Amino acid sequence: MKKATATLLLASMFVYGSSFAQKKKEKVAPTAPDTLQAFFKKCMAKVKEGEMAPPFKYVSSKGDSVSLSDFKGKYLVLDIWATWCGPCIQEIPFIVELKNSFRTDNVVFVSIAADELKDTWKKFILKKRMLGIHLWSGPRSVPAFYYTIQETKTLGYKSDGLSDGMPAFVIIDPQGKVVKNFAPYPSHGDELETLLKSLPGLKKK
């Protein structure tokens, strides 16, 4: 009986381990340069402007699950960031200012953190008293990760290619289509605010 129980336990551990490895494989990009570039191209193809945004479902800072479909009928501004990302942190006060400029009922600002640990992210937003909708995706988790891919030259690299970089700001329309991938940073003057004001049907403050 003990032997049978031990065998069953080992089998369960193997299945669990295989399942975990598969999930991890799906979330983490390959490391080989040629394979990585091919993977990045596939990522970009999934979030083209004018196409339907891939659905997401992430845990919020309040502990509930939030999905893309929850915002149907409203414009959505995604801020994909991480607590370890210096440029992301620098954008926070500008995001707050932008939110205050658009306190209307048909545009929602959602921050999605790509931190490795959920506790790190949660402690950070509590310490900084960050209000609004905050979600945690985990590192390189799809589909949030798709939006972080851009040309290396825009990130300051000397060679051409594709890489992942944050922060990334994305605008999705009330029908769920990507309006703008890599929208201007809130800190870059009035570019993002002007873009939002130009969208049809978006109510002003």
125-177, pLDDT tens digit by residue? 999 999 999 999 999 899 999 999 988 877 777 677 898 889 999 999 999 99
Long-range contacts of 189-196 (CB under 8 A, 24+ apart): 192/98, 193/98, 193/101, 193/102, 195/171, 196/75, 196/77, 196/102, 196/107, 196/171
Higher-confidence residue of 26 and 52: namely 52
pLDDT of 98 strictly over 80? yes
Tell me the per-residue pLDDT of 179-189, one tens digit each, with 9 for 90 and over.
999 999 999 98
Cis bond before residue 143 (omega within 30° of 0): yes
Query: Which CATH fold topology does 31-197 show?
Result: Glutaredoxin (3.40.30)
Using CA atoms, how far apart are residues 168 and 181, in angstroms rounded to an integer? 8
- Domain residues of the chain, as ranges? 1-29, 31-197
Query: What tokens were used for 109?
Result: 């600002």
Range of lowest pLDDT (47-51, 101-105, 155-159): 155-159
Instruction: Decide if 188 contacts 205 (C-beta within 8 A).
Output: no
Mean pLDDT score, 117-127? 95
Q: State the pTM of this model.
A: 0.81
